[in-house]
Structure 1
Amino acid sequence: MTTTLEPGLSTDVAVRLDGVRKAFGPTGRAVVALDGMDLTVAPGEFVCLLGASGCGKSTLLNLVAGLDQPTSGSITLETSRPAVMFQEAALMPWLTAARNVELPLRLAGFGRAERREKAAELLELVRLGGAGDKRPHELSGGMRQRVALARALAATLRVGGDTEQSLLLMDEPFAALDAITRDVLQGELLRVYRSTGTSVLFVTHDVREAVRLGQRVVLLSSRPGRVVREWRDVQASDAEELTLEITGHLREVISTHAAA
């Protein structure tokens, strides 16, 4: 069961999952992806979900995004409709970068002039101010992901300048990029995050990425996924030491799953 609250009913939660369970398939032969998932993201918080492949990280994002429904448990959402950014940029190849960013604004009911203005602002925010007239095939992989980030941010906007809290769901958005481009875009994401105050739920299997980006790192068990450990105040910790600690716990999770 999913519970979606109207804006204004809570001030200390962007999204909360209580006892969420998600099973796929018929009873008796169902594959349980998540079981007993409890997680809260505060407004403006950057949370990284870390876990082995198949632990239900992407399933969790799909549930929060409303793309699927939990089998049981509840999801409380106190933001505008979440925007999702995937590993692939998934831009419309026949549209320019600016028009790709404008698309969610058009669906939200913005007028043409306001769409163009806001798309230009968002492209400037991701440092692509001069690339608005280019189509995806004219852009590098990193530039396409910047456009995808601008489009995701556009999807959180509402007509009338509503200041309602926004939520960005990111499913390993930099995994397909080379190491140098990934490093640059991680820095750019932090800059954009700090300038917008958007809540972020970021899925990764890369411990170093999680430590660099997250204010909080949450480790999920192997399938069925549930929270087994979390680290707070990550940015105030020694990055190298924390990376080694989290890596050790992640290896325990993976080895436990392999032995099962």
Structure 2
Amino acid sequence: MHPTTITEQAAAPGTAVLEPAAPAVRVAGVHKTFGRPGGEQTVLQDINIDVMPGEFICLLGSSGCGKSTLLNLVAGLDEPSSGRIEIPSGRPALMFQEHALFPWLTAGKNIELVLRLRGVDRADRRSRAEELLALVRLQDAYGKRVHELSGGMRQRVALARALAQDSEVLLMDEPFAALDAITRDVLHEELTRIWQSAGVSVVFVTHNVREAVRLAQRILLMSCRPGRVAHEWRIGLPQPRRLEDPAVAELSVEITNQLRKEIRRHARD
């Protein structure tokens, strides 16, 4: 169910009516091509997506289908060849597969750098950085340098740094792909908890079907190039979910079969 807002009904003053909320992200008719005229390659074709406030969406598809390209367009790192992208709240926060932390800074100072760029007063930066580290369950990591942190801890600091941007939209490009299965499982739980408490909209790119089913409220399956939204699933399973839950496994099989069909269709074209 989409979030709603209360508005006053013109015909009956004092009567509240429900009206759909405006999307946190709107992608409308987006195409993306690379190359020069005569040798262009269409990577994305007619992408239309509304991400509602507080919604968790996973973009799912095989490698090379344009998932990361679409995320870069939403992040403002590139521009669509045609169509438009609207984010009323301003620039979204972005988290990559690599943590991209500055190794010469401590975990806390990596977060404080973002706060300084946002114009947060120097006197408030440390306390806010410590709050964000506590949110990702790294209360004692403020003074630790990157080499002292495990892979999972580095990704938690990267998540805290993304949240320090105070954006209403969080974009995540396969942030757990390089982690071992146990660490990834733990971070799935943490991300679900943080998303629910922070109330941000999340667009999460993955090629892992079970990861998508575990995390998302809605899954968009992209076709092979040119990338299009080929199928959509709304996930009604309650959170928190586990990878081994029968309902998660069952839906993962359904989505995997559809993904295989898309890959086979592309191979025939």
State the TM-score, normalizing by the size of structure 1.
Answer: 0.91
Which residue number in structure 2 is paired with residue 62 of structure 1?
A: 72
Partner in structure 1 of residue 183 of structure 2: 181
Alignment match, 1:204: 206
How big is the shift at 1:30? Answer: 1.1
Larger Rg: 2
Which runs of at least 4 in structure 1 moved beyond 6 Å after TM superposition? none
Amino acid at match of 2:114: P
Match of 1:109 in 2: 119
Deviation at residue 235 of structure 1 after TM alignment: 2.4
Match of 1:253 among 253, 258, 262: 262
Asked if 2 retains the 8 angstrom alpha-carbon contact of 1:32 and 1:223, the reply is yes
The one-letter code matched in structure 1 to 2:60 is L
Tell me how far 1:255 sits from its aligned partner.
1.2
The residue type paired with residue 140 of structure 1 is: S
Q: In the alignment, which residue of structure 2 is the partner of 1:3?
A: none
Distance in 2 of aligned mates of 1:181 and 1:234: 26
Residue 143 of structure 2 is aligned to residue 133 of structure 1: yes
1:86 and 1:100 mapped to 2: Cα distance?
A: 15
Equivalent position SS for 2:237: helix
Q: How does 1:1-260 map to 2 (within 5 A)?
A: 11-156=21-166, 166-236=168-238, 238-260=247-269
What secondary structure does 1:225 align onto? coil
Q: Which amino acid aligns with 1:183?
A: D
The one-letter code sitting in structure 2 at the alignment partner of 1:173 is P
The one-letter code matched in structure 2 to 1:224 is: P
Q: Which runs of 5+ in 1 are unaligned?
A: 1-9, 158-165
Deviations 1:96-125 (A, max 9, x none): 000111111111111112111111100000
Q: 2:154 & 2:69 partners in 1: Cα distance?
A: 24
Instruction: State whether residues 17 and 38 of structure 1, in contact with CA within 8 Å, keep that contact through their aligned partners in structure 2.
Output: yes
User: How far is 1:214 from its partner?
Assistant: 0.1
CA contact (8 A) 2:213 2:235 kept: no
Identity of aligned residues (%): 62
Q: Normalised by the size of structure 2, how large is the TM-score?
A: 0.88
